[in-house]
């Protein structure tokens, strides 16, 4: 039995186990910057079993840890797909059969904005960043948004120099709609963040963010 045949049999077995012990989920695939969780983006309905990333079921997943091992028929999904079911929304982070698929539990819905460039070369009127002058890059994408580090407000050492909260976001990657440093990210609760760094790993983006606070 060659490697491809073995991976296919393992994926098939995962699908059988998920149908017996898991839940039925809808899989969605983003193809542009618009919300991927719409009927036109649904690709398949399949059984999914979510367990802690370590693979064991004798203890629960760590609190605040969004990563899960996904047991399913891996032949039907790709990294970057979303799985929506009774247990919430999962983003498939990696799918490298015969290894198990790694999922990320989403806890926010984000929109990514890109501010407008100066209208003319040379001097331009000074102004704050306004979303009315920005264009949407990603709209309504489920994402895992977790705390991750802090950033310096200033380096002057003044008494009111508090730390700005740092966050890490994991979101599906779409060709032609990638995030850039200094993009503005807003979540479903109205919080606003600035993208400090962006790295793509296969079908997902990992974003380092700083929260904008008054």
What is the predicted pLDDT for the residue at 131? 58
- Percentage of residues of the chain with pLDDT beyond 90: 55
> Tokens representing 142?
């489920």
- The answer on 131 and 52 residing in a single domain is no
- The answer on 87 and 128 residing in a single domain is no
> Rounded to an integer, what distance in angstroms lies between the CA atom of residue 110 and that of residue 137?
11
In angstroms, the Cα distances linking 141 to 82, 83, 97, 176, 205 are 10, 13, 26, 15, 12
- The answer on 147 and 60 residing in a single domain is no
- The answer on 124 and 85 residing in a single domain is no
What is the predicted pLDDT for the residue at 15? 75
What does the pLDDT average to over 162-166? 75
- The answer on 121 and 66 residing in a single domain is no
Beta strands in 59-211 (DSSP E): 67-71, 82-85, 88-94, 101-105, 108-114, 135-152, 163-172, 184-186, 192-201, 204-211
Q: How confident is the model at residue 130 (pLDDT cuts 50, 70, 90)?
A: low
- The answer on 191 and 126 residing in a single domain is yes
Q: How confident is the model at residue 29 (pLDDT cuts 50, 70, 90)?
A: very high
- Looking up tokens 């503005």 gives 184
Q: What is the CATH number of the domain that holds 160?
A: 2.40.10
Task: Please give the mean pLDDT across all residues of the chain.
Answer: 85
Per residue in 86-129, pLDDT tens?
989 999 999 988 888 999 999 999 999 998 765 566 565 555 55
What is the predicted pLDDT for the residue at 42? 97
Burial of residue 15, with CB atoms counted within 10 A of its CB: 0-12 exposed, 13-18 middle, 19 or more buried: buried
Name the domain count of the chain: 2
- The answer on 46 and 119 residing in a single domain is no
> Rounded to an integer, what distance in angstroms lies between the CA atom of residue 75 and that of residue 102?
14
Segments forming the whole domain that contains residue 24: 3-105
- The answer on 72 and 21 residing in a single domain is yes
């Amino acid at each position: 039995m060659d490697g491809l045949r073995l991976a296919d049999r393992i994926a098939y077995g995962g699908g059988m186990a998920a149908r017996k012990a898991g839940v039925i989920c809808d899989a969605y695939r983003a193809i542009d910057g618009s919300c991927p969780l719409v009927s036109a983006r649904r690709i398949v309905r399949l059984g999914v079993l979510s367990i802690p990333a370590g693979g064991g079921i004798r203890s629960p997943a760590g609190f605040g840890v969004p990563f899960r091992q996904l047991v399913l028929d891996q032949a039907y999904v790709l990294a970057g797909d979303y799985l929506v079911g009774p247990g919430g929304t999962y983003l498939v982070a990696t799918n490298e059969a015969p290894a198990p698929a790694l999922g990320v539990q989403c806890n926010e819905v984000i929109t990514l904005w890109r501010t407008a460039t100066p209208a003319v070369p040379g001097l331009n009127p000074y102004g704050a960043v306004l979303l009315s002058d920005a264009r949407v890059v990603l709209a309504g994408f489920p994402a895992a948004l977790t705390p991750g580090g802090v950033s310096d407000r200033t380096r002057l050492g003044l008494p009111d120099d508090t730390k700005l909260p740092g966050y890490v976001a994991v979101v599906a990657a779409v060709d032609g709609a990638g995030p850039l440093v200094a993009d503005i990210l807003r979540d479903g609760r109205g919080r606003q963040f600035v993208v400090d760094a962006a790295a793509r790993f296969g079908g997902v983006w990992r974003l380092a963010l700083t929260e904008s606070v008054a």
